[in-house]
Amino acid sequence: MQWTDNSGRDWCTAINVNTVRRVKDLTGVLLTDAADSDLIERLYNDCMLLADVLYAISEPQAKERGVDSAAFGEMLAGDTIDRACESMMRDLVDFFQSGRRPAVEKIWMAARRVETERIKLLDRKLTDEAFEDLLTSQMQQASDEIDRRLAALGERSGKSPEPSE
């Protein structure tokens, strides 16, 4: 699969045994763990880990283009991250042998559903009346704390010393 960065350059995320080895060497992440661990969930939840893995997958292309890992990371933002992750996950599923492929795809689909539901829940919570009440309460507490500190400063300053003759 391919994804396009913010500069309009296309990147390929094809995964083969050499790619798996390179990712492990550069990041310590073993892509074949996707079938047996929480790797896919970690990639969804840690954009820095995802960027490191994407760079390792794309390293030959990046070297050809003179793009180091820092520059690569700078082009990953917003929807570009989603496109790159989608491309990588599709290629990761395709990498596995036919017997393991369905399980990896189910893990990926479950991780996507969890992420989608988590975002929906967060949105509901942030628009909930209870959230507004919590914000109002927190603002009142902050205001009260500022008033207490200002009052304490006034008490500590006390009277000015008498002028000397």
Give the pLDDT confidence score for residue 83 in this predicted structure.
Answer: 94
Determine, yes or no, domain membership for 100. Answer: yes
* Cβ atoms 81, 49 nearer than 8 A: no
* Cβ atoms 53, 47 nearer than 8 A: no
Determine, yes or no, domain membership for 138. Answer: no
Number of domains within the chain:
1
Question: Residue 45: CB partners within 8 Å, gap ≥ 6?
Answer: 115
Q: Which of helix, strand or coil describes residue 165? A: coil
Give the pLDDT confidence score for residue 36 in this predicted structure.
Answer: 80
Q: State the Cα–Cα distance between residues 63 and 126, nearest whole angstrom.
A: 43
Give the pLDDT confidence score for residue 162 in this predicted structure.
Answer: 62
Determine, yes or no, domain membership for 146. Answer: no
Determine, yes or no, domain membership for 114. Answer: yes
Query: Which residue's entry shows tokens 């892509």?
Result: 31
The CA dihedral of 95, 101, 104, 105, to the nearest 10 degrees, is 100
Determine, yes or no, domain membership for 150. Answer: no
Determine, yes or no, domain membership for 38. Answer: yes
Greatest Cα pair distance, the chain, in angstroms, is: 97
Instruction: Print pLDDT tens along the chain (165 aa).
Output: 999 998 899 999 999 999 999 999 999 999 999 988 789 989 988 999 999 999 999 999 999 999 999 999 999 999 999 999 999 999 999 999 999 999 999 999 998 899 899 889 988 887 878 778 888 889 999 999 999 999 888 777 655 556 665
For residue 82, the enclosing domain spans 2-127
Could you give the angle at which helices 101-127 and 79-95 cross, rounded to 10 degrees?
160
Could you give the angle at which helices 101-127 and 129-157 cross, rounded to 10 degrees?
60
Q: Which of helix, strand or coil describes residue 3? A: strand
Q: How many CB atoms lie within 10 A of CB 11?
A: 24
Determine, yes or no, domain membership for 94. Answer: yes
Give the pLDDT confidence score for residue 33 in this predicted structure.
Answer: 93
Determine, yes or no, domain membership for 163. Answer: no
